[in-house]
Structure 1
Amino acid sequence: MASPKFHMAFRKYHRWLGFFLAGIMGVYAISGILLIFRPTDILKYDQVQTKQLEANLSGEELLPLLKMRGSKVTSENADEIVLNVGKYDKATGEATVSKKDYPIVLAKMVKLHKATNNSPLFWLNISFGLGLLFFVISAFLMFIPKLPMYKNGLKIAGIGAIVAVLTVVFGS
């Protein structure tokens, strides 16, 4: 059995890492809540962009150049192409498109939350995940295993794991 000094050391590391990760957890919590409402336009505003492209493009040639998911040609005539996200002037090659997006600070937070292994931000995500894993393990090392608080903690953690598994299985 480990000594009380061992358990007190884990309490200290748990507390220090907890204070450090509190700021990161706040950012992840806010960006996670925003991602839940991603299909809606909550907190988003219109951003209008003008892009200079080649002149006299057809609708089929234009859409891949815009690189906007969900864009479609609604009408086309000799002078312009009208899109569901803007318009393209065939004579000048100027495309004016509009999309809804978060303000810059919120957009960066969402990008952080959605980082993949192709992004340099993924190291922060991995570090954060490892920090949370340390919390899981150190929570059980902060108390002496013979104490009732430890045994109750195991029961509550087991209930939490069961609720999470049931939510994933039946909630999706």
Structure 2
Amino acid sequence: MAKRKTPASLQVRIIHRYLGYFLSGIMFVYALSGIIMVYRNTDFLKTEVVTEKKLAPNLNDRQLKPIFKKGAEVLKKEGDVVYLKNGNYNKKTGIAIIKKMELPFILDKMEHLHKANTNSPLYFLNIFFGAALLFFVFSAFWMYTPKMPVFKKGMYFTAGGIILTLILLFI
């Protein structure tokens, strides 16, 4: 007895469904971290972490930049103490107090996964996830035949989504 051939649209539906279930956890992480990253230039959900470092004495402003990073802007100097945007440095003793706003551990890990690049050992997961999302985009068009009313209605939603995307890209 010969096996019946499964229609391509049914095969795509099956792959789409199980890939969706498989990726539901990582989609949750990317969605949540993406929302949180909108607020990355604020202190939303962040707590202040203060560290004390022993540096070489008598460092100049340029030498302090890599240590204090974004907060290396000098606000004032009083005697041996240099007050910066995110801490202070004592030129005589070399003691630096650095203040940094950080997300809670798990949210920080989510954000780093979301922003992974080729310097990260997990960047291949971002490539796989991006490819899977592209599959979702294209497989949605093979789930129903073009003759079906749900496909035609879907084309209106597709057009609306494309228009919205273009508006968001150019505002």
Q: Which AA in structure 1 matches 2:110?
A: M
Cα distance in 1 between the residues matched to 2:47 and 2:95: 22
Q: What is the count of residue pairs matched by the alignment?
A: 167
Q: 2-side partners of 1:163 and 1:120: how far apart?
A: 35
8 A contact 1:59–1:76 mirrored in 2 = no
How far apart are 1:80 and its partner, in Å?
A: 2.1
| 1:49 equivalent in structure 2 | 51
Q: TM-score, normalised by structure 2?
A: 0.88
Aligned to 1:106: 107
| Displacement over 3 Å in runs of 4+ | none
Taking a change above 3 Å as real, the CA distance of residues 119 and 67 of structure 1, as seen in their structure-2 partners, is farther
Q: Report percent identity of matched pairs.
A: 43
Q: Distance in 2 between matches of 1:123 and 1:55?
A: 43
Letter matched to residue 83 of structure 1: L
Give the structure-1-normalised TM-score. 0.87
How far the C-alpha of 1:166 sits from its partner, in A, is: 1.7
Three-state SS of the structure 1 residue aligned to 2:72 is coil
The CA RMSD measured in Å over matched residues stands at: 1.8
**Using the alignment, how far apart are the partners of 1:158 and 1:79 within structure 2?**
64
CA shift, 1:120, in A, is: 2.6
Matches of 1:6 and 1:167, distance apart in 2: 34
Instruction: Report what 1:31 is aligned to.
Output: 33
What does residue range 139-150 of structure 1 map to in structure 2 within 5 Å?
Answer: 139-150=140-151
Work out the CA distance in 1 between the residues paired with 2:71 and 2:32.
26
Mapped to 1, the partners of 2:138 and 2:60 lie a distance apart of 59
Verify the 8 A CA contact 1:4 1:144 in the aligned structure 2.
no
- Structure 2 residue runs without a partner (length 5+): none
